[in-house]
A and B are shown apart, each in its own frame.
Chain A
Amino acid sequence: MSVLGNVSISLTEEQGMLLDVARGFVRDQAPIEAVRAQLETDTGFDAGTWQSMVEMGWAGIALPDTVGGAGMGVGSAVPVFEALGGGLLGTPLLSSTLAGQLIWRAAGESAAGWLGRLCSGSVGTIAYLDGGDWGASNMGVALGADGALAGAKSYVADASVADVFVVVASEGGAPVLAVVERSSVADSAISENVLIDLTKRAANVDFSGVTPAEVIRGDAVSVAIRDTLLLGALLTAAETTGAANKCLASITEYLKTRRQFGKLIGSYQALKHPTVDIYVGMENARSFVYHGATIVGDEALDQDAEIACRMAKVAADEVMVFAGDRSVQFHGGFGFTWECDSTLFIRRAQWAQQMYGGAIHHRKRLASLLLDS
Chain B
Amino acid sequence: MSDNKAALNAFRNDVSAWMAENVPTDPGFLLPLTFLEVGTEQQLDFLREWQHKLWSAGYLGMHWPSEYGGQGADPAYQYIVDKALAKHNAPIIFNTIGLNWVGPLLLDMGTDEEKAKYIKNILSGEEIWCQGFSEPDHGSDLGAVQTRAVRDGDDYVVNGSKIWTTLGNYADHMILLARTNPNTERKYDGLSFFLSPMKIDGVEAHPIRKVTGEYGFNQTFFTDARIPASCLMGEEGGGWMVAMKTLEYERGVTAGQASGYWGVTIQVDDMIEALSKLEHDGEPLLSDPVVRDDLVGFIMEAKALSLTGRRSGIPALTSDYPMGLALSVKYRGTEYERRMKQYTASKQGAQSALYVGDADAVSGGFWQRAYFSNFGATIGGGTTQVQANIVAEHVLGLPK
Interface residues of A (CB under 8 A from B): 2-5, 7-11, 15-16, 19-20, 245, 248, 252, 255-256, 263-264, 266-267, 269, 272-273, 275-276, 279-280, 283-284, 286-288, 290-291, 311, 314-315, 363-364, 366-367, 370-371
Contact = CB atoms under 8 A, between A and B. Distances in A.
Given A276-B391, A280-B391, 11 more contacts: A19-B316, A252-B397, A267-B399, A276-B331, A279-B321, A280-B331, A284-B308, A287-B307, A290-B311, A291-B307, A367-B296
B306 A7 contact: yes
Please name the 6 residue pairs, one residue from A and one from B, whose CB atoms are nearest each other, closest first.
Answer: A287-B307, A16-B316, A284-B304, A266-B398, A367-B292, A272-B392
B286 interface: yes
Given A245-B320, A256-B398, A275-B396, A363 B302 contact: no
B316 A276 contact: no
B269 A2 contact: yes
Interface of B: 267-269, 272, 286, 289, 292-293, 295-297, 299-304, 306-308, 310-311, 314, 316-317, 320-321, 324-325, 328, 331-332, 385, 388-389, 391-392, 395-400
A269 B332 contact: no
Given A3-B268, A283-B308, A255 B303 contact: no
A264 B311 CA distance: 33
A60 B399 CA distance: 44
A233 to B, nearest CB: 14
Contact of B292 (A286, A314, A371): A371
A363 B300 CA distance: 10
B383 to A, nearest CB: 12
B317 A279 contact: no
B296 to A, nearest CB: 5
Interface SS of A by simple majority: helix
B314 A9 contact: yes
29 contacts: A2-B267, A3-B272, A4-B268, A4-B306, A7-B303, A7-B306, A10-B314, A256-B397, A266-B392, A267-B400, A269-B389, A272-B398, A275-B392, A276-B388, A279-B324, A279-B396, A280-B328, A284-B332, A286-B311, A287-B308, A288-B303, A290-B311, A290-B317, A311-B303, A315-B300, A363-B297, A367-B295, A367-B296, A371-B295
Contact of A256 (B311, B332, B391, B399): B399
Determine which residue in B293, B296, B331 has the highest number of CB atoms from chain A within 10 A of its CB, and name it.
B296
Contacts of B269: 2-4
A285 B52 CA distance: 42
A272 to B, nearest CB: 4
Contacts of B300: 288, 311, 314-315, 366
B317 A11 contact: yes
Contact of B296 (A19, A290, A366): A366
Nearest to A277: B388
A280 B388 CA distance: 10
A290 B311 CA distance: 9
Between B269, B307, B314, the greatest number of chain A beta carbons within 10 A of the residue's beta carbon is seen for B307
A286 B314 CA distance: 12
A286 B317 contact: yes
Contacts of A7: 303, 306-307, 310
B316 A371 contact: no
Which one of B317, B385, B397 has the greatest number of beta carbons of chain A within 10 Å? B317
A4 B299 contact: yes
